[in-house]
Structures are given as C-alpha cells and as structure tokens.
Structure 1
Amino acid sequence: MRFKRLLKAAFYGTSASSAPSLQPVPASLDRPEGRRDYLIATPGKPATVKRALVVVLHGAGASPEQVLGMAFPPSPLSLWLEIAAREDLVVAAPGAGKGGWSDCFASDARVARKDDVAFIAALIDLAISGHEVDPGRVYVIGVSRGGHMAYRVATEIPHKLAAFSAVLASMPPPGRARMPALPLPALVFGCTADPLMPYHGGKFFYTLGFADPVGSIEDGVTVWRELAGLPAEPEVVRIAKRKDSDKTTATRFMWGDGKKGLQVGLYRIEGGGHVEPSRLKRYPAFIQALVGRQNADVEVAEAAWEFFRDKRAGMGS
C-alpha cells in the first residue's frame, strides 16, 4: 500500500481535499473569431443575493478542464470549485483556443485577430445577465500565461473587475506593452526558483523563442502599488511552515490596510518553482522534478479568496 501511494504521488499527484464542490459544465460563445468554449460552475440553488464571479484563466498548453481539475495534471486552482460550493460563488474558466492567449505580450495585430479581453468581457456580461452575478464582485485569477492574460484584462477592462490575481506571471518590461491607468486591488504569487518565469526578470536562455523577456515580479507589484498611491512599506507576514522537510518558504507582503479597500499583495515563495503553491492539491513528483518545488504552506485559491472576498468594483476609481 505504501508503495502504491508513493507511485501515485510520483506519477499522478495527490489530493487531500474531499469537501463538496460544484460541477462545471461546458458552454460556448460565438465571437468574431469563431466559437469560444468555456466551463461554468453555478450553485444548484436560487441565489438569496447576487453572487460573486471568479474567472479562472489557465496556463499555456493547458485548458479549462485542467485548471478546474478535470484533466491531468489537476491544478490547485481547481479548489475554486470547493470554495464556490462553500461560499455560493459562480466560477467560469474560458479557453484560450488555438494559438493560446492574446495576453499582455500580444501584438495589436494578434489582438485584432483574436481579442481575448473582449471574449472575457462578454463572458462576464453573460454571467451577470444569466447567472445572478453581482457586477460589483467580479474577480479574475490566472496562472502562468493565464496570469499574463489577467494582467491584460486588469489593464484594459478594470471597470468590470473588483480585483485580480496573477500567479507565476510577470508583467512585461517597461515600454513593452500598455501599462494600467486605473488602480485595482492586485494579488501576485511569485516563486524565486521558477525556471520558466524569472522572479527577477529577463528570460532564461533555454526558453529560446518560446518566451518573451519579462519584468521582475516585484517591479510588477510596484506598478500596481504606485498606481494605487499606497505607501512603500508593506505589512510583512512570514507564513508558518507545515512540514520541516519542505525546502521552500513563503512570505506575504501587503500594501494597504483594509480588506475592503485598495490593497496590493505579494506572496513570495523562496525556493519555489513553476507550480502553484498548495497543501491539498499536490503535483506529481516528476512534474516538480521538471519545473521546481511546490510550496505547501500557502493554499493559492484560499489565499486569493481571502483577498478578493470583501472587495467591490469602483474602489480604485
């Protein structure tokens, strides 16, 4: 039995969560570029008040099914389905489609062919009109290239959002892309040993032409902090270690002192790789061997929900 558990952890990963969760269903929208697919999960009971919406954006080469735990390897962001069942939320996961996201690194010509911000905006509007969603409580979270997409959404349609989060994703260097003009609550997760998304910016030589140089994680946080007019000194919380054997550590930096106000936060994972931190949803050992260690002290979806929960649209205007 112990051997089977080790084999499963090595090749399939593990899940230590068995809480009730919502069941996503497939749907689609017709857009100028063609049919766009997405998954949506809604509570099965009438809403007593309008619900919050969380839009979850998958990474490169992944899918809505993967990020919501329905395809291998199940992402820790799939915990949003349990949070949604507990907190009475709506969760939507759009698909990037052929060619991936037209994210914050995309050219104007690429965006003209496939405008993913417009697709996500239409999906938000549909959820508001058809799924009892509160337009003042719309949140976006994306991982890796989905995090790059979250930056673009936050920059181009901030009026539709109450807050956003970028996981394992940096903003473009100065002058490389449009910068935000309206402040928003922003929560960023960055790992210092990420072999794909350099924490300190630039690019790794072995990514060849498959990745653009990025700004540093902390420089991106500074963009949103300065735009919000928040002081330079953060509140610093060192997250308690759950396992002594974990070679990663986590620290939370938070600018802004009110959960209902304009805040900017950073979870810095020392020694972490290109994997979302989670105690409950563990990636297989072979994946961690390829892209780095997965921190177990921070539950990424729960940390994002704690940040999102009390924030409403308009606080940055």
Structure 2
Amino acid sequence: MNAMRLIGKKCVCVAVIAAWAVIAGATQPDREKIVRGSLRIGGLDRTWELFLPSSPGPYPLVIVLHGSGAKGAIMRSFMGFNDLAEQNGFLALFPDSIGPYWNDGRSDNNSPSYRAGVDDVEFLTRLLGHVVAEYHGDPARVYIAGFSNGGMMALRLGLAIPGKVAAVASVSGTLPKPLALRVARVPVPLLLIHGTEDRTVPWGGGKLVRGKMNRGEVLSVLDTLLFWAWNNGCAGSAGVSPMPDLDSRDGTRAFRMFFECDDPVRETTLIAIQGGGHHWPGIGRSLPEGKAGKVSLDVSATDLIWEFFSRHRPR
C-alpha cells in the first residue's frame, strides 16, 4: 500500500513521515501487542493505540504525539518506539488528534481544534490515567514526546500537568508564544531536538506562515530552551559539545547544548542539528530534501528520547 496515497500530499509533516516509512521498509509488530481504544471526552470520541511489551509491569509510559495531518498509527509503525518498548519494557502510547491538528496553545484560527476549543490537555491527562490504571503503568514514570505540532502539544502538557509528567521531549517543535506566560509548579526535564534549517518551524521562531495563512506564533529554539531552564530553576552555566559525525554524507552535524543544573530533575538539553530540516533525525536515507530540508543520520531521535527519559526516574 502506498503510504503517500494514504495520508495525502497536503502536509509536509505527513509526506515526510510517509517517505520515511517507504525507505525504512518498516515491519509491522505482532498484532496481539497492539491495543486500540477510545475515550468519550467533551462529546468527542478520542482514539489511541498502545503497544504492550511482553515483560511484566509496572511499566513506564511513553506518550508519542504525531505531527499535523498525521495519526498515531504512523508514529507507532515507523518511529521505532515499538522495538524500544519491547527491549526496555515500557508502554508506548500513540493518541490521535481531532482532525489534523492538536490544540497546542498557538492562537491559530486556521486550526479546527483551536476554533472549536478542543481540550487536548484534558484528553491526554485522562488518557494517561486510564492507560496507567488499566495496563499496569507506573504513574511516576510517565513521559511525553512529540513531533512538530505534537512536540508543541507535549510542551503544553508539560507546563499544564507537571506533577504527572516525569520528562518531556519535542522534535521540531518549539514553545507556542501564548504558553510563555505559564509557569509549571514543579521542574520538568526537557529535551529539544531541532534543525537549524527547519523552514516549517524556523529555528528563529516567530509567525508560522503557510501561504497566506498565519498559523500562530512560537518562540525561537534558544528562547524555548532559556524559558524552560528558567522555569526549571536551572541557573547554571551553559555548555556545547559536538556529537559524532556518524554519516558524513547527510550534510548535517549534531551538537548537544545543555545547562549545568544542580539537580537532574532540572535538566534542560537541546540537540541542535546544524543544517538539519523539519525531520525526525535517524529515519530514512536518500530522502529527497524538498521543503523539509536535510535529515540527520548522525543521531536517532527515538534513541535519544528514550535515553533521556530513562534517566529521569522517581527517587
């Protein structure tokens, strides 16, 4: 089946993910390990998919939010979280937005979810509680990650329910400007992964414009990092270190930027992909650059996210 035909060509995020799927030749996991469900919230049926590892619980829970125009099933099938979940014994949860977009906190009148006031914070909060209760999850080890619009939604959730989220990761998604007025009640460890040449969610932030449409305003990558470090009470000095150039042909280099914090719970880290575009690093090879730019093969965003999450366990 042609993934491009399945999800259309209107959204760069969806086209990129579909191409990754074809190139990677991803295999489908054991159907018995996939649970599909729905919750009725705000008069809407909210759907999700869950990967169950074969090891005994209680399990950490990793929530993975898709980008605009995609679905949770795309993230489940092609981002590599199923294999990691099986190897490391965690639940991998893939919720669906209503329509093409999460209501991520941007003032975006072109988003049906924003116009309708869809409460995705309530949905995800209730869903994580449901999954923890029904599938032997560990409520102290709930993590949330997302791509693009899903990354922005992950940031929103980290600020809205910090006591329920042990760490947050956002790939190609920065903080919606209206959320910069919010302060979490407790520190939330953060991992950002972003390409310097991202043209969909620009490194420098500002208004996200698609044609003549204003899709709301976001902070720059560095301002997002600084806001979160301040929110986490991380006042230490910043450092930068290069990461190995594992693929010299991909046209990118990865750098780790971090703050020296006095407590691991305050960790605030950025993986900057120099030359990278609007991609999930580590997926695909020989991918046409197109509007999405270069994909880095020097790092795996999936592996980096789990390595980051697994360091943040309850004391």
Identity across the alignment (%)? 28
1:32 is matched with: 42
2:311 is matched with: 310
2:184 is matched with: 181
The answer to whether the Cα contact below 8 Å between 1:189 and 1:266 also exists between their aligned partners in 2 is yes
Question: Residue 214 of structure 1: CA displacement?
Answer: 1.7
Distance 1:250 1:99, change over 3 A: closer
The answer to whether the Cα contact below 8 Å between 1:104 and 1:151 also exists between their aligned partners in 2 is no
Supply the RMSD in Å over aligned alpha carbons.
2.9
Question: Residue 283 of structure 1: CA displacement?
Answer: 6.3
The answer to whether the Cα contact below 8 Å between 1:248 and 1:269 also exists between their aligned partners in 2 is yes
2:23 is matched with: 14
Deviations 1:142-196 (A, max 9, x none): 11000111111111111111000111011123x5664233321011111110011
The answer to whether the Cα contact below 8 Å between 1:163 and 1:186 also exists between their aligned partners in 2 is yes
Which sits farther off after the overlay, 227-236 or 34-43?
227-236
Q: Distance in 2 between matches of 1:169 and 1:230?
A: 21
1:159 is matched with: 163
Distance 1:13 1:164, change over 3 A: same
With normalisation by structure 2, the TM-score equals 0.84
Q: Distance in 1 between matches of 2:209 and 2:98?
A: 27
Question: Residue 200 of structure 1: CA displacement?
Answer: 0.9
Q: Greater relative contact order: 1 or 2 (C-alpha under 8 angstroms, separation 6 or more)?
A: 1
Question: Residue 259 of structure 1: CA displacement?
Answer: 8.7
Q: Distance in 2 between matches of 1:93 and 1:82?
A: 14
SS at match of 1:304: helix
Residue 299 of structure 1 aligns with an amino acid whose one-letter code is S
Q: Distance in 2 between matches of 1:10 and 1:63?
A: 15
Q: Distance in 1 between matches of 2:295 and 2:160?
A: 32
1:3 is matched with: none
Unaligned runs of 5+ in 2: 1-17
Q: What pairs with 1:107-126 in structure 2 (closer than 5 Å)?
A: 110=114, 113-126=117-130
SS at match of 1:309: helix
Alignment length, in residue pairs?
A: 293
The answer to whether the Cα contact below 8 Å between 2:180 and 2:227 also exists between their aligned partners in 1 is no
Q: Distance in 1 between matches of 2:224 and 2:55?
A: 40
2:298 is matched with: 297
1:275 is matched with: 279
The answer to whether the Cα contact below 8 Å between 2:20 and 2:284 also exists between their aligned partners in 1 is no
Distance 1:11 1:265, change over 3 A: closer
Q: What pairs with 1:1-317 in structure 2 (closer than 5 Å)?
A: 13-15=22-24, 23-47=33-57, 50-69=58-77, 74=78, 78-98=79-99, 100-106=101-107, 110=114, 113-173=117-177, 178-182=181-185, 183-203=187-207, 206-256=210-260, 260-278=264-282, 281-282=283-284, 285-286=287-288, 288-312=289-313
SS at match of 1:203: strand
Q: Distance in 2 between matches of 1:142 and 1:12?
A: 17
SS at match of 2:251: coil
With normalisation by structure 1, the TM-score equals 0.83
Question: Residue 229 of structure 1: CA displacement?
Answer: 1.9
Q: Distance in 2 between matches of 1:216 and 1:178?
A: 15
Deviations 1:268-301 (A, max 9, x none): 01111101110xx316623x32310000011001
Q: Distance in 2 between matches of 1:110 and 1:276?
A: 25
